[in-house]
Amino acid sequence: MKKNLFLAFGLAAALSNTALPGAALAQDRYRERPPVVVSPDLAAPWVMQLAGPNGRPVVYPRQAAQQRSIYQQREQQPVVRRGIFDRSPAQPVAMRPQPIRSQIEPQFLPQTVAYETKEKAGTIIIDTNNRFLYLVAGNGQARRYGVGVGKPGFEWAGEHRVTRKAEWPDWTPPSEMIQREAAKGHYLPARMEGGPENPLGARAMYLGSTLYRIHGTNAPWSIGSAVSSGCIRMRNEDVTDLYERVNIGTKVVVM
């Protein structure tokens, strides 16, 4: 009998020794924990996960941080829905052709301005230094357009008459230009039909017996710059407007 009581007492004591730590752990588990502190800069080299003396820095490799930044940028990019029968592979955004800049500075857009000159109304005056073409209207006014002019080494000045007008002209590069561009690795065609891709653009007005013209362009962003081989280039919409306002025999003054 005494042996049985001794065993029962020992078993109860053992159970109490194991139950008490368990109860303590249970209470500790559900006790309020210190808040998690996260760095506001998730791309930082490390982020503090816990506050207090038990705080543990988590180190991220620099490459991984950059990769996360790339993924964030991709997530912000618009999703393009492709047709169900479109079998062409999706092209990476970085490789897609970018839209060509077609806007020019506001001062190079057509406008009527005050302009004093001794030239008669209907005369074209080209100010190559300031990249403006004036169509004299008389009464101290002129219609002004922005133009592109000859690059360094191709500037010129003088007086001519419009001897020919052409709509969507074809282009035959001079042999000197073909050789000059070939030396740079740019190979020009012997002749190019008129059209939107033609460097002469929508209209051309030929000056005297020279190779110079007032013409349109397939590079409207070049208006206001010195980039041509001596010709005066305009936006297609502007050269079309000028084309309708002048006749063969119009005096052109380039200065």
Active site (catalytic) residues: 215, 231
Tell me, what amino acid is at 148? G
CB 57 within 8 A of CB 46: yes
**How wide is the angle at C-alpha 94 spanned by C-alphas 89 and 100, nearest 5°?**
105
Q: Which residue has the tokens 């050269």?
A: 239
Neighbouring residues of 153: CB distance < 8 A, sequence distance ≥ 6: none
Cα 119 from chain centroid? 42
Q: What are phi and psi of 214, to 5 degrees?
A: -100, 120
Q: How many other CB atoms sit within 10 Å of the CB of residue 9?
A: 10
